[in-house]
Chain A
């Protein structure tokens, strides 16, 4: 379990990037839900934490691919592959992320440090 930040440090409508390998983005929706997905868009190298958050959806800041934060599924192209999702836990007013065991869908040309 990776500590992200105090719950109070991530207001609704905001996102945070955790510098894991690969990085993870944590979103706090306007409705108060917390979601975590791989930060790198599956289409090309861009940070989803820099994207536009609307409802349970994030729009990539580079090419406007949209992902459903609940499932990671692509709601709008050009992305073709879903983004990997991670579990979020809030304990003692701190946000934690439980990283997924599944392989990530990183875009072509982007590799993890270990791979």
Chain B
């Protein structure tokens, strides 16, 4: 393989570039990024960057003097993927990534790492925010200055972290969640309910089981109307209802798309010479028997090494077993850590600490296996328990 184009210049794209070089790829490497920034770290955007404790420079992912010998094409989105002189499915010359400025990058291999786009509501009202990029965070921060009431739509981790920051600024915060408990999708309803108290302790009003009908306001948002008729006043609204994979640019290509780019357990897509990593990729998880899009930092940091081996070996490399997904969240000075997958019906038990003290370690079990671990302010225990995920119960 003489040339590789990486489409996406965030954590997954950078990690892919590093992995390719570390695995001996010496050919031409091009990194395409829709944003104008060099690769930066997104998790602090809802935490230290939003509070102002971290600056844009602090977010840089590249080390001082790090040189991947790559050509960077930043500030230009990819608009298509095809082959030069295509003569039929899978036949033709090198792969070609088409770019928004009319140019194209030709390469023998392509890494798709275009991430995800925040879902939104509100049809363009001022004061309504999502949080995905540096610009999003800066705009939200500017709007929070002087705001009295924030409504967060969606009780996921980003929404909860923004709620924390807003509380520290003395802003009244209401979180509206469609499910019966916060964090239910990630942590399951039982532990989600346990964490609801953490927010209520800090004066956040949490409304669960409520759907949003519409956002109100003339030019600028002034409230959130719920389906049950309740109205919540708001100066600022944060919409944290998840993200969809940024794969529209692959429409018309031969790359198979489901909920994201469908990949095998080594990151290979349906097209030879094309792999996908990060939030846009749905890798097949052999343990679960499904394609799963894992939108976590750790996956974007670690899986590209596997995808690089897949790409450089032409698919011959046997992929390493997938590490369990891992996420962390900082809320009110507490550190929440979770590893694994939970599904409805998992048996959950608190193994250390207790729920009331907001410092505990909970273990999720299913069919005789440890499938997930949740730690709230239990970093040392979590470090040990995390290694038991996917082991049979009682294996050590």
Knowing A108-B48, A109-B48, the reply to whether A47 touches B379 (Cβ < 8 A) is yes
A72 at the interface (CB under 8 A from B): no
- Contact of A64 with B380 at beta-carbon distance under 8 Å, contacts A108-B55, A109-B54 already known: no
State how many angstroms separate the Cβ of B184 from the closest Cβ of chain A: 24
Judged by a CB distance under 8 angstroms, whether B168 is at the interface is no
> In the complex the two chains form, what is the Cα distance from A77 to B328 in whole Å?
17
B54 touches A108 (CB 8 A): yes
Is the pair B383, A51 in contact by a Cβ cutoff of 8 Å? yes
Segment of B56-64, B84-92, B350-358 in the binding face: B56-64
With both chains docked as a complex, state the minimum distance between the C-beta of B132 and any C-beta of chain A, in angstroms: 19
Residues of A within 8 A of B53 (CB): 108-109
B99 at interface by CB-CB < 8 Å? no
Contacting pair B379 A109 (CB below 8 A): no
Contacts of B328 in A (CB 8 A): 62
Query: Is A80 in contact with B64, judged by CB distance below 8 angstroms?
Result: yes
Inter-chain contacts of A50 with B (CB < 8 A): 379-380, 383
Q: How far is the CB of A77 from chain B (nearest CB, A)?
A: 8
What are the interface flags for A21-64 relative to B under an 8 Å C-beta threshold, 1 for contact and 0 otherwise?
Answer: 00000000000000000000000101101111000000001111
Distance in Å: Cβ of B134 to nearest Cβ of chain A: 14
* Chain B contact residues, majority secondary structure: helix
Q: Is the CB of A61 within 8 A of B58?
A: no
Bound CA–CA A47/B379 (angstroms): 8
A11 at the interface (CB under 8 A from B): no
- Picked from A61, A77, A78, A108, the residue with its CB within 8 Å of the CB of B383 is A61
Binding site for A on B (CB under 8 A): 18, 41, 44, 48, 53-55, 58, 61, 63-64, 297-298, 301, 328, 335, 337, 379-380, 382-384, 387
A88-109 CB mask vs B (1 if < 8 Å, else 0) is 0000000000000000000011
A63 to B339, alpha carbons, bound, how many Å?
12
Main secondary structure of the interface of A (DSSP, over half): loop
Enumerate chain B residues within 8 angstroms of A49, measured Cβ to Cβ: 380
Interface residues of A in 64-92 (CB under 8 A from B): 64, 77-78, 80
Are B379 and A61 interface neighbours, CB within 8 A? yes
A14 nearest in chain B by CB position:
B380
Residue contacts A-B, CB under 8 angstroms, 20 given: A44-B48, A46-B379, A50-B379, A50-B380, A50-B383, A52-B383, A52-B384, A62-B335, A62-B337, A63-B297, A63-B301, A77-B63, A77-B301, A78-B61, A108-B53, A108-B54, A108-B58, A109-B48, A109-B53, A109-B54
B63 interface neighbour in A51, A63, A80, Cβ under 8 Å: A80
Contact A109 B58 (CB under 8 A): yes
Most buried by A among B298, B335, B382: B335
Complex Cα distance, B377 from A61, in Å, reads: 12
Chain A contacts of B298 at CB under 8 A?
63-64
In the bound complex, how far is the Cα of B301 from the Cα of A62, in angstroms? 13
Closest CB pairs A-B (n = 10): A109-B53, A108-B58, A50-B379, A50-B380, A80-B63, A61-B383, A61-B379, A109-B48, A108-B54, A109-B54
Contacts of A78 in B (CB 8 A): 41, 61, 301
Contacts of A52 in B (CB 8 A): 383-384, 387
Given B54, B55, B64, B380, which contacts A61 in the complex, CB threshold below 8 Å?
B380
Tell me which residues across on chain A come within 8 A of B54, comparing CB atoms. Answer: 108-109
Q: Which residues of chain B have C-beta atoms less than 8 A from A44's C-beta? A: 44, 48
CB contacts (< 8 Å) of A109 on chain B: these are 48, 53-54, 58
How far, in whole Å, are A49 and B63 apart by their CA atoms in the complex? 25
CA distance A50 to B379 in the complex (A): 6
In the assembled complex, the CB of A9 is this many whole angstroms from the nearest CB of chain B, namely: 16
Question: Which residues of A are found within 8 Å of B380, using beta-carbon distances?
Answer: 49-50, 61
Q: Which residue of A lies closest to B58 (CB)?
A: A108
Determine the distance from Cα of A39 to Cα of B315 in the docked complex, in whole angstroms: 42
Complex formed: what's the CA distance from A50 to B361 in Å?
14
> How near does chain A come to B231, taking the closest CB pair, in angstroms?
38
Q: Tell me the bound Cα distance from A43 to B387 in angstroms.
A: 22
* Residues in B neighbouring A63, C-beta threshold 8 A: 297-298, 301
Q: Nearest chain B CB to A29's CB is how many angstroms away?
A: 16
A64 to B55, CA, bound (A): 23
On chain A, the residues within 8 Å of B297 by CB distance are 63
Nearest-neighbour CB distance to chain B for A52, whole angstroms, equals 5
State how many angstroms separate the Cβ of A1 from the closest Cβ of chain B.
26
With both chains docked as a complex, state the minimum distance between the C-beta of B393 and any C-beta of chain A, in angstroms: 21
A33 to B301, CA, bound (A): 31
The answer for the CA separation of A65 and B155 in the assembled complex, in Å, is: 29
Q: What CA separation (Å) do A64 and B64 show in the bound complex? A: 20
Nearest A residue to B18 via CB reads A77
